[in-house]
Homo-oligomer: A and B are copies of this chain.
Amino acid sequence: MQHMWLSLLSGLCLHLVFLCSAEEGLEFPNFDGKDRVMDINERNYKKALKRYDLLCLFYHEPLPANKGLQKRFQMTELVLELTAQVLENKDIGFGMVDSQKDVKVARKLGLEEVGSLYVFKDDRVIEFDGELSADTLVEFLLDVLEDPVEMINNAMEVRFSIKLIYFKAFQEASERFQPYIKFFATFDKSVAKHLSLKMNEVNFYEPFMEEPAIVPGRPLSEIDIVEYVTQHRRATLRKLRAENIFETWEDDMDGIHIVAFAEEEDPDGYEFLEILKDVARDNTNNPELSIVWIDPDDFPLLTTYWEKTFKLDLFRPQIGVVNVTDADSVWLDMSNDEDLPTAEELEDWIEDVLSGRVNTEDDDESADEPENPDSYITEDSDEIHDLDEGDNDDNYN
């Protein structure tokens, strides 16, 4: 049975091989059927930890009795097998830890969440909380293989020895956040000047901000840096990415997310994103505000699901509030406007969201709010169902 499953995996990365047989240089990998993922147990886990630069362990429930779940389980194994094959020359070990049979090993290794993937690098454990596809996992592991601090410019050798002690705190802090938060360093005066970076100073760039914040305190210890980054890592505007999609979604604000859809490659989407950035810059010090920006181009398989769930046309930019427990949502009505909202209009709307004036629970009570009942699309209203269908017909021809 195992082998049949293995050969199937080739389909995970099936491409138009017929067309390019005459040309070389673009060979998408097909799984070769060789077992590379270990069954981890008490006898072999220590050896595995020592042997590889990285050890990547999938912590799973025992093989389920249900056939559908069994297949899903085997496909997980195959995603790991293909990843292992693609990264074969990189000194990464792959293994499975059974939450029932290997309960002792799991406790010793600190594995907690069943269904999670843990990466061991040196004495650190990094949890992978992204889309479990071979693409995303390969990219993630290649990022983890790199040094956690990247040097800007190579003039470092000259001065490296002088800065070693101070630099160590920075480097050790960086290891806590790899690969999710990038750490850069420079030992080059001109680079530092260009970045307005003072000696021994750590600047923190929040995504989409033009000006960095200066991490307070000097000299900075590892703990200072770790605490600052932990406290500030949830950005005012954060992009949804495959590599940590579930982590981001779980990090909601009191059960809701403010979600903005904008295609960066589309003129309207690009403009809307610029407005979002302005809003984020104006509100960077508001810890209550974090907007999740989704570029639909990054998640083609989710696009129609989102359109259906949220009753939206994703050919246009959108912004709304989503309740993460039931996916109930409310969206800013931008359909009748010729222009996108200004940053000020968007800030007014966001203020309404944060104050609770706009929320996902008022759908049925919208008649009770005399102020401006038509200005928000609520997903449960029949009126909107009809509108949606009309819109679709116009757009999709």
Contact = CB atoms under 8 A, between A and B. Distances in A.
Interface of A: 7-20, 22-29, 53, 61, 68, 71-72, 74-76, 78-79, 86-91, 113-117, 129-136, 138-139, 142, 145-147, 150, 152-155, 184, 245-246, 249-250, 252, 257, 266-267, 297, 300-306, 308-309, 315, 322-327, 338-339, 392, 395-397
Nearest to A54: B396
A252 to B, nearest CB: 8
Contacts of A154: 338-339
Contacts of A246: 15-16, 19-20, 26
A302 B309 CA distance: 34
B113 A27 contact: no
A136 B15 CA distance: 11
21 contacts: A9-B11, A10-B68, A10-B75, A13-B133, A16-B117, A16-B129, A16-B131, A16-B246, A19-B113, A20-B249, A22-B325, A23-B250, A23-B325, A25-B306, A27-B302, A89-B304, A89-B308, A135-B300, A135-B301, A139-B297, A152-B267
A378 B339 CA distance: 55
Interface hub of A23, A27, A246, A297 (most chain B Cβ within 10 A): A23
A301 B28 contact: yes
B14 A309 contact: no
Given A8-B71, A300-B142, A25 B86 contact: no
Given A116-B16, A325-B24, A71 B301 contact: no
A323 B297 CA distance: 32
Nearest to A323: B24
A309 B28 CA distance: 12
Given A8-B11, A19-B250, 18 more contacts: A7-B68, A7-B71, A16-B129, A17-B115, A19-B113, A19-B246, A22-B325, A23-B250, A23-B252, A23-B324, A24-B309, A25-B257, A25-B309, A86-B300, A86-B305, A88-B304, A138-B300, A154-B339
B8 A301 contact: no
A209 to B, nearest CB: 16
A305 B27 contact: yes
A245 B7 contact: no
A150 B316 CA distance: 12
Nearest to A250: B23
Contact of A19 (B89, B90, B116): B116
Contact of A396 (B17, B53, B116): B53
A28 B131 contact: yes
A61 B323 CA distance: 49
Nearest to A16: B132
Given A23-B250, A249-B23, A322-B25, A86 B304 contact: yes
Contacts of A28: 131, 301-302, 305
A68 to B, nearest CB: 7
Contacts of A146: 315, 395
A297 B323 CA distance: 32
Nearest 5 pairs of A and B residues by beta carbon: A11-B75, A18-B115, A24-B327, A138-B300, A139-B300
Contacts of A117: 16
A196 to B, nearest CB: 16
Contacts of A15: 131-133, 246
A87 B307 CA distance: 11
Contacts of A323: 24
